[in-house]
Structure formats: C-alpha cells, structure tokens
Amino acid sequence: MTDPSASTPPHLLLGSCDYPEHVPQDRWARYAQQQKDAGLAFVRIAEFAWSRIEPHPGRYDWSWLDHAVEQYHAAGLKVVLCTLTATPPAWLIRAHPEILPHDEQGRVREFGSRRHYDFASPVYREHSRRVTLAMALRYGRHPAVVGWQTDNEFGCHATSRSYGGASAAAFPEWLRRKYSVVERLNEAWGNVFWSMEYSAFDQIRPPILTVTELNPSHVLDYARFCSGLIAEFQREQVEILREMSPGRFITHNFMIFESGFDHYEVAWGLDFASWDSYPLGMLEFFAPPGTDDELKTRYARTGHPDLIALNHDLYRSLAAGGVGLGREGKGTPPGMWIMEQQCGQVNWAPYNPLPADGAVQLWTAQAWAHGADVVSYFRWRAATMAQEVMHSGLLRHDETEDRGLAEVRALEQTQFPTGPVRSRVAVLHDYESLWLYDQQRHSATMTYWGQLAAYHGALRSLGVDVDIVHADADLSAYAVVVAPAITLVSDIRAARWAQATERGTRLVCGPRTAFRMPGGQTWPEGQPGPLSGLLGVKLLQFDSLRPTLGQDVTGPGGPFRAGAWAESYRLDGAEATHTYAGGPLHGQPAVATHGNATVIGAHSPELIRTVLAGVLRAADVPVTFLPDGVRLSRRAERTLVQNWTADPVQWQGRTLAPVSFEVLDGE
C-alpha cells in the first residue's frame, strides 16, 4: 500500500468533481484556472466516461482525456482518476446481456442508467480488468495523477446484490466451499423448520420471492457471499493499479448509510476511505424511520449534525483499517476524503431545499474536524443534460458562480490543520448484525441504523468525540465502549469484550445485544448468549411498541418514556438501576449494571443519554451537555464549535451565530 501519511497536507485541502466530457473543449482550460483561483487543489474525473474512452470494442479514444488532464496539470491541479467500471457501455451490454444484474423481484435491470452489472459475471470481471489496465497504462505515471478512485459508489441504487444470473449460478458453489456437505448447511440454517431442507447444493437459489418471510440465515449467507464478490471485484482493480501506477493512492467513495455489503471487508487494501456527503438529501431520504417532520423541518437547510457525524466517524474508522483513530503510539493514521460534498440543492430526495447561508462552510469544517484531509465538492458546473439537471454545482447552468462557490472561495483553509482525531470512546458496528437485525426488525420504527444513531447521537450531544469501529476491533485504548445493536455475538467476540472490561474499559450494550449466533439462530440459552456472565442478566421479555404506545421507566434522572422497543431482564448477578413502571413489564429491570458492564433495554433517547453520561463520568471522560443543534468536535489540538440552527445560541458566555462555526485553540 501507498503510505498516505507521507503526503498528508499540513491543513485541509479542497477539490471538485468535474466532467470535461459534458462541456465543449474550449471551457476546459478556463474551468481549470477558475478552480485553482477558487482555492481548489484537486479534481476528480472520468468515473462515468467509459463510452467516450472506448466507443467501440477495443478502439480507444484517449485524445480528449489526454487534453483534459493536461489542462488541469497546466493550471496546477492534482488529478484523481477513476476506474470506469460503474457504467459499462451499451455495446458491451448488448454483446453480453448476461452481465446485467437481477433485482429482488428476479427481473433483469436494464441498460440506460448506471451500476448495471453483476459482480459475479466472469465476462464483466474480464472487461473490468482489461479497461482498468488500459487506464493505468495510459495515465498511471502521469505527473498530474496523484490517486485513483475505484468504480463509483458500490451499492448505490440497491446494486450490491444481484438475485439472478451469474450471482445465482455462483452461490451454490460458495455454499459448498463453506459447508462441505449439505447436511451442515441445513443444520446451520435451521431448515428443518417449514421443511426447507435441501438434499443438494444446486437446489439453492438466492433468497427472494418466497411466499412469506425469508429464512434469515439464508439472507445472511447470501449477503456474505455478495459482499465477498464486491471485495474480489475491487481487489482485482487495486492489484492492477498498484503495479501500473506506483506511488499513487487508491480509495473508493462509499455512501450514506449503505447497508448492502461489509465495508470493512471491501475497504481492505485501500490507502484510505472516502465517502459522498449530501447532508440535506441524507436527512430526507436516509433518516431512521420514526424521525419526525418537525426535526426534518428544523434541519431542512443544514442536515442533522449527528447523522452527518455518524458517517464521518464510520468512514474515518475505515480509513484506519476499521480500528478507529484514537489509539496512541500507532503512528499517524490516514485522513479520509469527502469525495463528493453537497454544495447546493440535490435532485434525488423527496424534497430538495437550498442549503442555508453558511451551510457549505459548516459542512466543510465539520468534515475536517471528523478526520477529512480533503473535501471535494460535487460538482464543478451543474449538469445541463440527462438525469441530474436539477442538481446544483459550484457553477450554475449558465456558468455563473453559485452560492456554494462564494462560500468555498471565502473559506480560510489554513485554520484547519491536519492531524489525528483522538477519542476515548468507541461505538461498535458490524454489518452482519445489521443484516440480521433489519431482516427481522419486529418493529416498523426500529432499525439497526436507527438504534446505532440514537446512541451515537447521545454521545455527540454530550460533547464526546467518538470512533465507530468494528465489533472485533482492538478496544484496549478506549475508556468506554458502546455496542448499540450488535445482535450477532460469537464466543470469540464475547471473550474479547470481556477482556476489555477486565482491563478497565466500561461497556454499554443496547437492546437485542447477542440475540443471535453467527449462523443467524438465537442462542439456545437465550439472549445475551455468551455475554450472560459479563452482563449478569438474561432476557426476560421484549415488547415492540406502537408509536403511541410507550412504556414508562423510573430510576435516576427519570422518569423516562420508552418508545418503539422495550426489553426486560432476569437478574443473574447484575443490579437494576432503572425499572419499568406500568404496563406488562411493570417492576422489571430496564437497565442493569454488572461490574464494568451496563445493558439498556428501553429505547428512550433521554434514558440513553442519562445512562451514558453516568458511565462516561465514571470513566473520567469529560461530559458537556450541549444545547440542541450545538456540537463540539476536536482535531489536531483544535476544537470546532458548531451551531446548526437558524437562530443565535448563547453558550458558555459566547453568542454562536446561526449556521456557523468557530475554531478554538486547545482540546
């Protein structure tokens, strides 16, 4: 791998995503110079340019891209090139229609948009390697090219899994390698239930179109299989780029709350992670179920700070190999990139308002404070054709400067020094738990992401910096570890968490923790399975609550009102700190502690915040109760104070202007 820390900039740098193939060539030199004059240092290009580079099979037209790269180079911009594989051209699809993926209804997804390929297709894999090699041979050692982005937004538009074609054909062999004999698969999946047993691997299809519920173990294994395909697909490109383009970084632009594959697995081998940040579309389109309209309206022009921060903290962890950035003595970790940062209205959410004045600068500052070394705005000029004409750019359609560019131009980049984000608190995350949790949610308003966001947001509201790390990460550097929704817990994982608490780390678990075995079944001894001794409890009842059917909780800091989910425990060494009042769970434990471990069974934001504040104080982690919309983030011995509301806020003797930030010396 390239050592990204060797070229880490001294402070935050900026870039843009540009599409020279969308505009006449007489604009290219002017645009490049405008970008440089606006303070941009990088430009990302060519992720959707396959049809222009190879208009006919084996006949390449490099002339236009050669010229474009030279124009950026002449202006002093650094170029990030993309592999072309997110948009296979029509000639390839018509010659090999078997490349096309199948949706969850078993239907072929047609040509005419993007991401129209099956990761398992051997034909497509061959063409992916071929065209990536051609790009790397042409530009891999060009002095303007400093890095590569593989493909584009894996999983976007529900494309991480194909449910027919090449993937369906390859799945039985994957299962054969995993289980050896079909009897082991039947046992692992519990196929005796409903007479779902197989007598041969080739009888097994992808998990779709069953009469009623899918077998969750079947779903889990298919998700693992498809995630592995994406990792293999990317690894083939990375190997070519490493050989043919030495000294350049390689990244991928991941997406908002993307759930279709294991990002830790797919990010392995990259120099750092990038992600595409669209705060307003995120709030409208990706906010957890149950997010009320009042909150969406309040943050409609800024996005919600904690949803954005959650993604920043997750992808910062991926940048460091999934282990967070808070560990001392490990050297300087790589900084992530925001490869696409919203700079005006988007076009794909149910509602697409203009950002508030100051929002673009606020988003940029927050990204830096959460670990970004580079923020690249999407896009330079608004598209004048096809699907994205309603999406903004730094330039309007008529090439005049839009509001976002004025904010970018005015941004003082040197106030944002690069350096590590140091946290003593970790939130644990695991895609296999996500797949199982959401397959059998048992609630219309509770999801894996919603539960994780509740705990992460509570920590952020307490002024705490957070690493989001893999559930099997090294936890030795953390004072507090929070596991909001890790429903899949193996014996090995349980032992690792127990070792951390024995060393003094305080562990907080949320509802449904350790409900599942690695195969997807419940633990025969019941939740929390191998964590029973550590947590000192056994699951007694769980209660899925209608939106208007809450459950009262009493205890220190209360009373509280739980919604969506409530579970109670039989104490087996633990001590109840909060109990339910009224209803079928009356008098039963809602929160229990056992040594350094705490389990919270009631889904209540106020309760979660109160319990976490107590645990943090006990671990000597400073707590600052912040007003709604005010957040603190720390990096490189600076503190970023942010006001995400449309009103001025009085806080600690200072007036925070609406939609604004301040960079303060000291952490």
Beta bridge partners of 374: 13, 337
Q: CA-to-CA distance for 165 and 102, rounded, in angstroms?
A: 7
Report yes or no: 44 and 339 within 8 Å, Cβ to Cβ. Answer: yes
Enter the DSSP assignment of 87.
S
Per DSSP bridges, beta strands 565-571 and 551-554 are: unpaired
Report yes or no: 77 and 36 within 8 Å, Cβ to Cβ. Answer: yes
Report yes or no: 428 and 471 within 8 Å, Cβ to Cβ. Answer: yes
Q: Which is nearest to 314 in space by CA: 391, 393, 428? A: 428
Q: Distance of alpha carbon 624 from its chain centroid, rounded?
A: 26
What contacts 24+ positions apart, CB below 8 Å, involve 125-131? 125/233, 125/236, 127/88, 127/92, 128/83, 128/85, 128/233, 128/236, 128/237, 129/236, 129/237, 129/240, 131/50, 131/53, 131/54, 131/83, 131/84, 131/85
CA distances in angstroms from 593 to 81, 397, 532, 577, 647, listed in the order given? 52, 59, 12, 7, 40
Helix axes 28-37, 63-74, angle to 10 degrees: 30
Enter the DSSP assignment of 357.
T
CA distances in angstroms from 485 to 437, 453, 509, 648, listed in the order given? 8, 10, 7, 36
H or E element at residue 411: none
Q: CA-to-CA distance for 400 and 444, rounded, in angstroms?
A: 46
Tell me the two tokens of residue 325.
Answer: 């950035």
Q: CA-to-CA distance for 179 and 387, rounded, in angstroms?
A: 45
Q: CA-to-CA distance for 180 and 201, rounded, in angstroms?
A: 10
CA distances in angstroms from 552 to 97, 459, 580, 582, listed in the order given? 57, 23, 6, 7
Q: CA-to-CA distance for 509 and 600, rounded, in angstroms?
A: 6
Q: CA-to-CA distance for 335 and 322, rounded, in angstroms?
A: 13
- Our answer to whether residue 54 is catalytic in this structure is no
CA distances in angstroms from 181 to 175, 187, 194, 205, 589, listed in the order given? 9, 11, 21, 17, 44
Max intra-chain CA distance, the chain: 75
- Our answer to whether residue 153 is catalytic in this structure is yes
Q: Could you say which of 47, 54, 284, 340 is catalytic?
A: 340
Q: Could you say which of 47, 54, 153, 284 is catalytic?
A: 153
Report yes or no: 488 and 436 within 8 Å, Cβ to Cβ. Answer: yes
Task: Show Cβ contacts of residue 163 under 8 Å, excluding neighbours closer than 6 positions.
Answer: 101, 102, 103, 104, 106, 206, 208
CA distances in angstroms from 157 to 152, 248, 308, 322, 570, listed in the order given? 12, 29, 20, 25, 43
Q: Which is nearest to 565 in space by CA: 588, 542, 586, 590? A: 542
Annotated catalytic sites, by residue?
Answer: 153, 340
